[in-house]
Amino acid sequence: DAKTTQPPSMDCAEGRAANLPCNHSTISGNEYVYWYRQIHSQGPQYIIHGLKNNETNEMASLIITEDRKSSTLILPHATLRDTAVYYCIVRANSGGYQKVTFGTGTKLQVIP
């Protein structure tokens, strides 16, 4: 799987948009970008994933650059409950089982 790089921590004011970046410069053509988050002491929770196009769901939006070397997870109106560690993962969805490792992610602190 392609390596990802995320900032270790970020702050965001409550009610503002939180933009979490992820670099994946070695991503292959068949690899998707996935985002998970882990709220304190809980198991990680799937947020969103995408291949080339931008994606949006009820939780967040995912913006992938045209060259696919980086992406941004956007939480449009951050709340205190969004305080969590956010993981960016890159992997293919085919070709047999591939081990998935969650790195250290970005610790997002939403400030009142």
Partner 1 sequence: NAGVTQTPKFRVLKTGQSMTLLCAQDMNHEYMYWYRQDPGMGLRLIHYSVGEGTTAKGEVPDGYNVSRLKKQNFLLGLESAAPSQTSVYFCASSYGQAIYGYTFGSGTRLTVV
Integer Cα distance of 75 and 88 in angstroms: 14
96 binds partner 1 (CB under 8 A): yes
Integer Cα distance of 3 and 25 in angstroms: 8
- Determine which residue in the list 29, 66, 94, 112 makes contact with partner 1, applying CB under 8 A: 94
- Residues 19-48 binding partner 1 (CB under 8 A) are 34, 36, 41-46
Report helix, strand or coil for 80: helix
> Looking at 17-25, 59-67, 69-77, 94-102, which segment touches partner 1 (CB under 8 A)?
94-102
Integer Cα distance of 65 and 57 in angstroms: 18
Half-sphere exposure of 46 (CA within 13 A, CB side): 6
Integer Cα distance of 46 and 37 in angstroms: 7
Residue whose CB is less far from partner 1, 68 or 91? 91
Cβ of residue 54: shortest distance to partner 1, in angstroms?
Answer: 16
- Determine which residue in the list 12, 18, 73, 89 makes contact with partner 1, applying CB under 8 A: 89
Binding site for partner 1 (CB under 8 A): 34, 36, 41-46, 49, 87, 89, 91, 93-94, 96-105
